[in-house]
Amino acid sequence: MMTLRLLVKIGLGLLLLVLVGFVLLLGYVLYQQRAYRKLADTRDLRKRVANMGEKYVAKRPNAGLVIGVLQRGNRYVQGFGRVNSTSTNPPNGETIFEIGSVTKVFTGITLARMANAGLVKLDDPIARHLPGEVVCPKKNNHQITLLHLATHTSGLPRLPDNFNATVKDEQNPYVTYKASDLYKDLATAKLSCEPGSKSDYSNYGFGLLGHILELASHKSYEEAVKEAICAPRGMSNTVMHLTSEQKGRLTPGHNPKGAPVPNWDFDVLAGCGAFLSTADDMIAFVEANLKDNDSEIGKALAEAQKFHFKQFSGGVGLGWQIDEPVEERIVHWHNGGTGGYVSFIGFDKPAQVGVVILSNYGDAWANDQTVDEMGMKILKEASKISWE
């Protein structure tokens, strides 16, 4: 007969097996619930993005919009509206848009790349890279440096004082502003503050910086950016001048009233807003910014992301606007607007999420659902909702 002690041991063993089985079953149930929640969350996020896009184009006749979301390596690109007035097809990841001032991010990163290569220094005075006869403005005997231009802290106004006098076509205003006009204005420009003391957005400053990068690299501004950023990242559709094939993928721009408008062209101020691109290229660019690596382009991206000027709850990198909202998040972003297009690009590196929005409607200051609002909302939601 079994002893009492043996019976107790057997009983405890069976109880242990039951408990192990229960734990395994509970783990399986929780795993299935988590997987289901992930699927539901993914569908929910996609639905939210789709609702935003559909609402946006519904209020803009013939509008074309592309939204791209990147989350921990997973890409999602969706087009809304129509690519042009003769097609019912929506734009897609290969459709080309003007990106306007998002170009400034490229200018800042190209500066970082050239500084790392020893071609320039961030603290170089602008006079060091301009023709000797150019008179450069100062404030309290402080000179403007390349870093000041890249952080909007130069004290230069938003546009040169002589800019409007050079405009021959208000629907293509930048094309007639030349280097001679820039040099002439620099000689009489009045700075609003001592360089380095305040950040005040300036197309003038970034246009000047792009021109200086041309002079320092002995390349056109477009060539300098392509060499520094586009070629290493395979961004073949990020250009200033379109090929015949690319022109066939360009969606036409519209003014805020919905009328078609011409594309913008740039001369000496190209560094402030001249590039065109696609959602696929810009998502690849965001993906590069979310990674850390020791390549030359990786080092330049990291340098541009640093705070080079801090103010309030954020600051400025080299081209990037940087926000530090609540919940311990840090968001790098920039927007763009030309006569016929608006754009937004942003990423939250700790959360490993990024957003690109391209629109062929030049209503950056719309009263309802701007691309900036959509971009920030998607970034916030994508950082919380699982996409895996």
- Residue in this structure with the two tokens 């170089």, named with its chain if needed: 124
pLDDT for the residue 9: 59
Q: Which two tokens stand for residue 109?
A: 């990163």
Q: For residue 329, what pLDDT is reported?
A: 79
Q: How far is CA 238 from the centre of its chain?
A: 13
Q: Does residue 44 sit within a domain?
A: no
**Residue 12 within a domain:** no
> DSSP class of residue 230?
I
Whether residue 367 lies inside any domain: the answer is yes
Spatial contact of 251 and 91, defined as CB atoms under 8 Å apart:
yes
pLDDT at 27: 56
pLDDT in tens, 41-61: 455 888 999 999 999 999 998
Q: Which long-range contacts (CB under 8 A, 24 or more apart) does 309-316 make?
A: 309/151, 309/152, 309/153, 309/196, 309/199, 311/198, 311/199, 315/199, 316/151, 316/152, 316/153, 316/199
How many angstroms separate the CA atoms of 294 and 45, rounded? 33
Q: Is residue 261 part of a domain?
A: yes
pLDDT digits (tens, 9 = 90+) for 135-157: 999 999 999 999 999 999 999 99
The predicted structure's pLDDT at residue 73: 86
| Length reported for the chain | 388
In a domain, 16, yes or no: no
| 24 domain-assigned | no
Please state, in angstroms and rounded to a whole number, the distance separating the CA atoms of residues 299 and 157: 31
Instruction: Answer for the pair 362, 261: CB distance below 8 angstroms, yes or no.
Output: yes
Q: What is the CATH number of the domain that holds 230?
A: 3.40.710.10
Would you put residue 231 in left (φ > 0), alpha (ψ -120 to 50) or beta? alpha
Residues of the chain below pLDDT 70: 1-43, 326-328, 386-388
CB atoms within 10 A of CB 119: 16
Does any domain span residue 199? yes
Predicted pLDDT at 261: 97
How many separate domains does the chain show? 1
Provide the pLDDT for residue 327. 63
Query: Helices in the chain by DSSP H: which ranges?
Result: 4-58, 103-116, 146-150, 163-166, 179-186, 203-217, 221-225, 231-233, 244-247, 279-290, 296-305, 371-384
pLDDT at residue number 309? 97
Residue 95 in domain: yes
Which domain range does residue 333 map to?
49-384
Place of tokens 């209503």: 363
Separation CA 53–CA 272 (nearest Å): 27
Beta-carbon-side half-sphere exposure of residue 32 (alpha carbons within 13 Å): 6
| Dihedral angle of Cα 176, 181, 185, 187, to the nearest 10 degrees | 170
